[in-house]
Amino acid sequence: MAVADLEEINMIECKNITKKYISGATETFVLKGLTFTIKDGEFVAIMGPSGSGKSTLMHIIGALDTPSSGQYLLDGQDVSKLSDDELAEIRKNKIGFVFQSFNLLPRATVLRNVMLPLVYANVSKEERVKQAKIALKNVGLEESHFYQLSNQLSGGQMQRVAIARALINNPSLILADEPTGNLDTKTGEIVLNTFQKLNDQQNHTIILITHELNVAEHADRIIRIRDGEIVEDSKNGKKRIINA
């Protein structure tokens, strides 16, 4: 086999991505020609202040929105040209979402919250329970919490339940949007360590959206965005300045 055949395929390829919003005769560009790649198994933080465009980029990477121009490929598939139904299939099968607000059902048990995506996938109850327990153990939640209601847990425990739910369909990509925003510093460290373990031990590709440097520094690579442009892409301590 040729050496080229052994090279890793990029999980994510963004090529000159733009996003604009039109109000009357006014065009506002939120993203201005972003180009970057993320390999399978990378742990990347996308960092920027409020209004930088990082949330818009997150929606495009997560197949929640499409770019105004440019090309977005996920596992070699051109996501930028898909229909709404096709985007929904991408989200269901390839992407696990973790949000700042947890988005758990408060009056459902931990186990039921994690199993829920498998209900829509028509997986048998026995298999749902089995897979949910595995996912919860993988994020370090003690089995004594499995049958508690989610609103009886601490913030850090709820976020780990949300991570387990994101893992349940074995997605190729985990997208975490400000996952420590509602947590104190110590609890946030526990959640970030959970992401690091998932990346190190199970090779999950993780993209962390944040505005905080101390959070971004848990990733192996930081892509900084300002005013809709990539201004810095740093990996392993070696920084490559793109725009001053």
The range of the structural domain enclosing residue 111 comes to 3-238
CATH number, position 29? 3.40.50.300
- Please list the residues that pair with 222 across neighbouring strands: 45, 234
Domain total for the chain?
1
Per-residue confidence (pLDDT) for residue 9, from 0 to 100 = 77
Q: Name the pTM for this structure.
A: 0.88
3-state SS assignment for residue 25? coil
Query: What's the CA gap between 63 and 84, in Å, rounded?
Result: 9
Q: Is the residue at 36 inside a domain?
A: yes
Is residue 121 in a domain?
Answer: yes
244 lies in some domain? no
228 belongs to a structural domain: yes
Residue 45 resides in a domain: yes
Query: What is the three-class DSSP state of 220?
Result: coil
Dist. CA 106–CA 130, nearest whole Å: 22
| Residue 134 pLDDT | 94
**Residues 173 and 96: beta-carbon distance below 8 Å:** yes
Q: Residue 243 domain-assigned?
A: no
The per-residue pLDDT string of the chain (244 residues; one tens digit each, 9 = 90 and over) reads: 444 444 567 999 999 999 999 988 888 999 999 999 999 999 999 999 999 999 999 999 999 999 999 999 999 999 988 899 999 989 988 999 999 889 999 999 999 999 998 987 888 999 999 999 999 998 989 999 999 999 999 999 999 999 999 999 889 899 999 999 989 999 999 999 999 989 988 889 999 999 999 999 999 999 999 999 999 999 856 455 555 4
Domain for residue 222, yes or no?
Answer: yes
How confident is the model at residue 4, as a pLDDT?
44
Residue in the structure block whose two tokens are 């031990």: 201
Asked, for residue 14, whether it belongs to a domain, the answer is: yes
